[in-house]
Structure 1
């Protein structure tokens, strides 16, 4: 598979433990976790994709393992890739997932209205 299955399982476990309702969608060559029909977190290759509040983006960009998400060739503000060393400990993964979940209610849905 094109993404780290173990990291995906760790995300599933945490969301289930926190009673977060989510859907999984394969996209961007990886796996995306949708919460309330909005992209929340994901796994691309061996990295966590984190959608965080753009207000704290510059601050958390300096955290261990984080880098700009430049999937399209340019940085997407509010989206980060977290390298394996940034999520190797459970507390580190939980930190990032909590940032994603905190921003999710404010995030815009990409779901097309029919």
Structure 2
């Protein structure tokens, strides 16, 4: 299953403004890391996965188009949310999610 290359291009335009970003294939999609920590990724073909502080996830999933990230029927991954394509239509919203994910990745110890 391929991922959304248009979304990848949009993310690239926004995230590569930061130094030290590394893009790599992961989980059948693509992810961007800072200091070895995933910040954001494209999963399930066209959904954006964003790393957040775990205490912010409950509030984030109250927003439209935002869900906990994890396999169906399994416990969600702590500190990650998944945003549907409808929640990523405008570049300003996408930029906000990328900023949140990169900020969290930079808070973590380097790997």
Q: TM-score, normalised by structure 2?
A: 0.88
Decide whether the 8 Å contact of 1:15 with 1:21 is kept in 2.
Answer: no
* Distance in 2 of aligned mates of 1:75 and 1:108: 22
Name the counterpart of 1:32: 31
Decide whether the 8 Å contact of 2:33 with 2:105 is kept in 1.
Answer: no
RMSD (Å), alpha carbons: 1.7
Listed as ranges, the gaps of 5+ residues in structure 2 are none
Deviation track 1:11-31 (CA, whole Å, cap 9, x = no partner) reads 110012x33421111111110
Of the two structures, which has the highest relative contact order with CA contacts closer than 8 Å and spacing of 6 or more?
2
Deviation track 1:73-108 (CA, whole Å, cap 9, x = no partner) reads 221121111000111111110111111122112235
Aligned to 1:104, the other structure's residue is in SS state helix
* Distance in 2 of aligned mates of 1:46 and 1:56: 23
Shift of 1:38: 0.8
Deviation track 1:9-52 (CA, whole Å, cap 9, x = no partner) reads 11110012x33421111111110111111111000111001111
* Distance in 2 of aligned mates of 1:95 and 1:34: 17
Q: TM-score, normalised by structure 1?
A: 0.86
Question: What is the total number of aligned residue pairs between the two structures?
Answer: 109
Decide whether the 8 Å contact of 1:43 with 1:49 is kept in 2.
Answer: yes
Listed as ranges, the gaps of 5+ residues in structure 1 are none
